[in-house]
Amino acid sequence: MEDQQLKSAIEALLFIGGGPLSVERLKGIFEDASKEQLEAQLQTLKADYDARGAGVMLAEVANGYQLATCPEQASWVRKFKTVKVTTRLSRPALETLAIIAYKQPVTRPEIEAIRGVNIGGITRNLMERRLVKIVGKKDVPGKPMLYGTSVEFLQYFGLKDLSSLPTLKEFQDLDAGEDAMVDALPVRPGSEPGGGEDGSLQEEASEALDAADTAQAEVGGERTDGEEVTSEASRPG
């Protein structure tokens, strides 16, 4: 397959994919293409969008590639999405999610000790939306479940990987420029995890930053290294 044909085919798959496509996934489809060829065409496609000032961009999220609207078009996207959706994460859910993101793997009692409230319903909601998953059991009496974030979490907030999460120092530096950071986020196309219709990262990211800032202060400011895990469990759903 010629380079132009390969690039066009990749673009078509990105358009209908509905989520990030990894190079490995593409390699399984384009068996005759090398990993280097696929990466080269992805970069060429990205450069094409950038060069013509397109309204969409090729974003690298969740260890894959996905089409997203450009940050410069955020105001028009907001204006277009005039219907208020009811499936956005609540402030308690965002705070719980932030604690899991920075403390993972973490047990429910550990999260409740930080938040000071029962989070059973919140964790179920986060798992139903596939933002959180069970990653194992802690090697202590009772073997409580350990929770961590999912690939859908990275996709939902436009993160390449967990190392892209802001640190406490970055949160402090953002006090005067949070709006600029939120507006700089791309807007994900399609639906959110769990079947919602909200396609804008900006609005929810603003609340997520506030919630994560609170969670950072509560958990001590930095992510922890992994606890000992005795067994693996697959994502629900």
CB distance 7 to 41 below 8 Å: yes
- Residue matched to tokens 């204006």: 79
Confidence at residue 100, expressed as pLDDT on a 0 to 100 scale:
92
What is the CATH code for 3-69? 1.10.10.10
Average pLDDT, the chain: 77
Confidence at residue 206, expressed as pLDDT on a 0 to 100 scale:
53
Strands (E), the chain: 56-61, 64-69, 106-107, 132-137, 145-149
Confidence at residue 212, expressed as pLDDT on a 0 to 100 scale:
59
Q: Could you count the other beta carbons within 10 Å of the beta carbon of residue 82?
A: 6
Confidence at residue 108, expressed as pLDDT on a 0 to 100 scale:
93
Confidence at residue 227, expressed as pLDDT on a 0 to 100 scale:
39
Listed residue (44, 59, 50, 46) closest to 5, CA to CA = 44
Weakly modelled stretches of the chain, pLDDT under 70: 81-87, 168-237
- CATH number 3.40.50.300 is the correct assignment for the domain at 91-219: no
Fold agreement (3-69, 91-219): yes
Q: Where are the domains of the chain?
A: 3-69, 91-219
CB distance 3 to 41 below 8 Å: yes
- The structure's pTM equals 0.51
Using CA atoms, how far apart are residues 168 and 141, in angstroms rounded to an integer?
32
Confidence at residue 22, expressed as pLDDT on a 0 to 100 scale:
94
What sign does the CA torsion over 199, 201, 202, 204 have?
A: positive
Confidence at residue 192, expressed as pLDDT on a 0 to 100 scale:
45
Using CA atoms, how far apart are residues 19 and 202, in angstroms rounded to an integer?
18
